[in-house]
Structure 1
């Protein structure tokens, strides 16, 4: 296995491990307390069972639709990202490899929850007064950072042919 794909796998597996570990901690410690205020008026740890997609999209859809769409989309996103990274690894920069591994690791972390738990465990809750950002988790963060890194690299740093 070459170095770039090793970096890809190590980063993706680290994201998956960190995501599942923090979700388990959130369930263990927040199930009893409901929430823990970390920075009053700005940030709490609050356990939310997200049965929908990002930001609760499709949360009210029938369960068979949610499973079909969300598990299918998550699976496709993870597989496509891994295959793309593997096939293109020799022409991708390390920046691109890491960004793709963050996306893949996050997709797999949330996919695990959807398949084995039936809902994604979210627990980071940022807000100002009554205005809350939808709760999220490590996987969501990894996906967002990975997409941001990939887009920034493509727009500003990639050498154009």
Structure 2
């Protein structure tokens, strides 16, 4: 009986780490391709609302703390690693909750994709530039997209869970 309960309470990390690994691979491959094809600051118009442009982000989301003295590289790296460890714990503990774990896996892959950049280059490579006329959304990358989608899925999962408990 105890064995059944413990097996149900925790599950395999493998499928969720697989999702995170796919995110990391796609993120890193796109960043490598953009860095090889573009010079820093160079961009190409893809659609009336979308450009590819190579930029570096030394800060966090929306270049938060980008102009700080360099300490932010290590602070955001440490934050990403701590987040990854917490997420792995949650994935192990809630492995049977598919939507929750999918969301966490996307966030994990995105966080580690950006940690890899910070460790390898000292900055995060961004290249997706959406805009409406002269107003540009801050450039971002696939890791950021995975984190955003994962966060949205977490909100959706929680709303679904709250609605189901009524």
Question: Could you state the TM-score of these two structures normalised by the residue count of structure 1?
Answer: 0.90
Match of 2:130 among 126, 132, 136: 126
Distance 1:57 1:88 in 2: 32
Q: Are residue 26 (structure 1) and residue 30 (structure 2) matched?
A: no
Contact residue 43 and residue 124 of structure 1 kept, 8 A:
yes
- Aligned twin of 2:5: none
Match of 1:54 among 61, 76, 83: 61
- Aligned twin of 2:160: 156
Structure with higher Rg: it is 2
**Alpha-carbon offset, residue 33 of structure 1:** 8.3
Gaps of 5+ in 1: none
1:7-32 CA deviation, whole Å, 9 max, x = no partner?
20110000000000000011011227
The SS at the match of 1:126 is strand
Question: Could you state the TM-score of these two structures normalised by the residue count of structure 2?
Answer: 0.87
**Alpha-carbon offset, residue 156 of structure 1:** 2.0
Q: Are residue 96 (structure 1) and residue 104 (structure 2) matched?
A: no
Distance 1:33 1:103 in 2: 27
Distance 1:73 1:96 in 2: 21
Number of corresponding residues = 156
Gaps of 5+ in 2: 1-9
Distance 1:130 1:11 in 2: 36
- Aligned twin of 1:76: 82
